[in-house]
C-alpha cells in the first residue's frame, strides 16, 4: 500500500512539474527555475540589454553581515529574474527574484528565507552595460522588519539561443 501511495505521489509531482514547465513556455513571464535557456531565446526586442545568465558577487546585510551571492536569471522583454542564493557566515538564504529593467534602472522584489523565516524585499538597482554589474540595495517589505542591505553582482555570462529565434545583439558578457 505504501509503495502505491509513493508511486502516486511521485507521478503527481512529475505531472505538476511538466504542467508548470509547459505553462512557463506557453507565454508570459517564465517562472523561476523553469527552462531558463528556453526563456532566454525569446524576442526581447532591441530596447533591452541581455540580462539573462549567471551572476556572482557580494552582499552586505545589516542582520547577517557580508555574504557571497550567485544567481541564474532568465528574461522576457523588460522582465527578468530567477533564483538567487546568498551564503552568509551563519546562514544560507535562497530567494526568488522578479525585476523589471527600464533605461538602466532595475526595480523589483525578492522573496526568500532560511528555515522557518520568510521575508519579501523591495529592490532598487542599476545595471551598468559597460561593466556588466548589477548593483543596488534592498529593504524588507514583509517580515524581517528593519532589514536592509546592498549588493553588487557581476554578470558572468549570458544565455544565448542557437536558433534563428534569438535575434538579440551580443551586447553583454560571453555566452554561458
**Reported confidence tier of residue 50, pLDDT bands at 50, 70, 90:** confident
HSE value, Cβ hemisphere, 13 Å, CA-based, for 161: 20
**Residue 156 in grid coordinates:** 558572468
More confident residue, 53 or 34: 53
Greatest Cα-to-Cα distance within the chain, rounded to the nearest angstrom: 60
Instruction: Write the CB contacts of 7 (distance below 8 Å, at least 6 apart in sequence).
Output: none
| pLDDT tens digit sequence for 75-87 | 888 999 999 999 9
d(CA 55, CA 156): 5
**pTM score above 0.85:** no
pLDDT in tens, 106-161: 999 999 877 777 899 999 999 998 899 999 999 999 999 999 999 999 999 888 76
Looking at residue 116, what DSSP letter applies? Answer: T
Amino acid at each position: 500500500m505504501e509503495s502505491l501511495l509513493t508511486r502516486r505521489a511521485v507521478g503527481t509531482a512529475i505531472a505538476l512539474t511538466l504542467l508548470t514547465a509547459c505553462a512557463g513556455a506557453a507565454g508570459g513571464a517564465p517562472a523561476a527555475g523553469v527552462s531558463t535557456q528556453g526563456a532566454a531565446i525569446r524576442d526581447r526586442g532591441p530596447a533591452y540589454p541581455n540580462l539573462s545568465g549567471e551572476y556572482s558577487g557580494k552582499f552586505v546585510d545589516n542582520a547577517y553581515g557580508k555574504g557571497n551571492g550567485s544567481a541564474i536569471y532568465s528574461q522576457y522583454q523588460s522582465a527578468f529574474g530567477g533564483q538567487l542564493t546568498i551564503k552568509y557566515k551563519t546562514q544560507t538564504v535562497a530567494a526568488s527574484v522578479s525585476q523589471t529593467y527600464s533605461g538602466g534602472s532595475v526595480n523589483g522584489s525578492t522573496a526568500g528565507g532560511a528555515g522557518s523565516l520568510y521575508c519579501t524585499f523591495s529592490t532598487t538597482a542599476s545595471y551598468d552595460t559597460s561593466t556588466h554589474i548589477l548593483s543596488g540595495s534592498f529593504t524588507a517589505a514583509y517580515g524581517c522588519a528593519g532589514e536592509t542591505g546592498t549588493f553588487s553582482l557581476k554578470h558572468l555570462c549570458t544565455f544565448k539561443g542557437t536558433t534563428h529565434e534569438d535575434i538579440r545583439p551580443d551586447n553583454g558578457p560571453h555566452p554561458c
